[in-house]
């Protein structure tokens, strides 16, 4: 059966070398990076409709070049192709945890160009917590992993956790890191002296109340220098959105009780996102997935 996604590489052609110095060949700037074809298959039809209405490429057939080249550097991610037999489940899952939480106008403006659907999302560091991750990111993409029969999040608890991680990564590591929205300084000012700093010398470092009291949800688990490294600013945004989109308003209230700095940052972020793009992050958290 003909593949529904035919990947075409847009490579700038060099000038023809001849004594006549012919004019250089140039690529068609309007040509798509990938060709997405419609299909009677519901999953492929959704992928086509999403691309047609938003310009977002949802890719399950790809090669290393598609994600390793990261605009100005080489990505540290390593993606494994998923079995096409799980495409239907993979698209349903991606819709639940990501796509269906935003309208098309938002996706046009704030989504990455590419969303990869992968069997596994790994890192060049082949150890926990870098292997078989729920998601990963690059300058122009998000990658959703664990899309195989034995790893799909299935329970409501697993879906909520995955939803939080994926949306946290979208907002912190893509939208904020790429300066697509502005978040007021008031959100960051409580953590200015802690960002990317280690708490290893603190005798309270293992107490969750210590971290929350400073206005953070957790340490940066992916930092190789220390297990007790505070996140950077993008990571701080990611952590807040992860919590918000995986908890209801009442649950967030309970989580923040007694932690004034968390509450202040929460309110600033909720209002900043509403003002910037009309999205109510807490409404995403209130909309819990059904098993």
Do residues 231 and 237 lie in contact, with contact meaning Cβ atoms separated by under 8 Å? no
Cα dihedral 288/120/165/199 (nearest 10): 150
> Longest Cα pair distance anywhere in the chain, in angstroms?
77
Could you tell me the residue ranges of all domains in the chain?
38-152, 156-291
The H or E element containing residue 115 is strand 114-123
Q: Write out pLDDT tens, residues 114-146.
A: 999 999 999 876 666 678 899 999 888 999 999
Q: Write out pLDDT tens, residues 246-289.
A: 999 999 999 999 999 999 999 999 999 999 999 999 999 999 86
pTM of this structure: 0.86
User: What is the DSSP pairing of strand 141-144 with strand 114-123?
Assistant: parallel
Q: How far apart, in Å, are the Cα atoms of 131 and each of 1, 2, 35, 80, 135?
A: 33, 32, 30, 11, 10
């Amino acid at each position: 059966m003909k593949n529904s996604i035919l990947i075409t590489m847009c490579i700038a052609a060099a000038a023809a070398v001849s004594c006549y110095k012919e004019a250089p060949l140039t690529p068609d700037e309007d040509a798509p990076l990938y060709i997405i074809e419609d299909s009677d298959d519901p999953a492929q039809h959704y992928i086509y409709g999403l691309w047609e209405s938003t310009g977002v490429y949802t890719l399950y057939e790809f090669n290393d070049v598609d994600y390793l080249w990261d605009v100005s550097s080489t990505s540290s991610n390593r993606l494994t192709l998923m079995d096409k037999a799980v495409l239907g489940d993979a698209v349903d899952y991606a819709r639940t945890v990501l796509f269906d939480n935003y309208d098309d106008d938002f996706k046009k403006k704030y989504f990455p160009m590419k969303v990869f659907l992968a069997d596994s999302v790994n890192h060049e560091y082949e150890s926990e917590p870098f292997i078989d991750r729920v998601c990963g990111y690059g300058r122009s993409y998000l990658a959703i992993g664990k899309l195989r029969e034995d790893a799909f999040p299935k329970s409501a608890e697993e879906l909520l956790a995955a939803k939080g991680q994926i949306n946290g990564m979208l907002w912190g590591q893509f939208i904020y890191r790429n300066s697509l929205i502005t978040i007021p300084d008031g959100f960051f000012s409580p953590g200015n002296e802690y960002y990317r700093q280690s708490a290893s010398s603190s005798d309270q470092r293992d107490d969750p109340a210590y971290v929350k009291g400073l206005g953070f949800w957790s340490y940066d688990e992916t930092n190789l220098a220390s297990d007790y490294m505070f996140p950077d600013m993008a990571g701080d945004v990611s952590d807040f959105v992860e919590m918000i989109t995986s908890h209801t308003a009442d649950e967030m209230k309970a989580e923040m009780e007694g932690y004034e700095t968390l509450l202040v940052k929460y309110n600033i972020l909720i209002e900043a996102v509403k003002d910037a793009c009309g999205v109510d992050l807490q409404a995403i958290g209130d909309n819990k997935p059904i098993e």
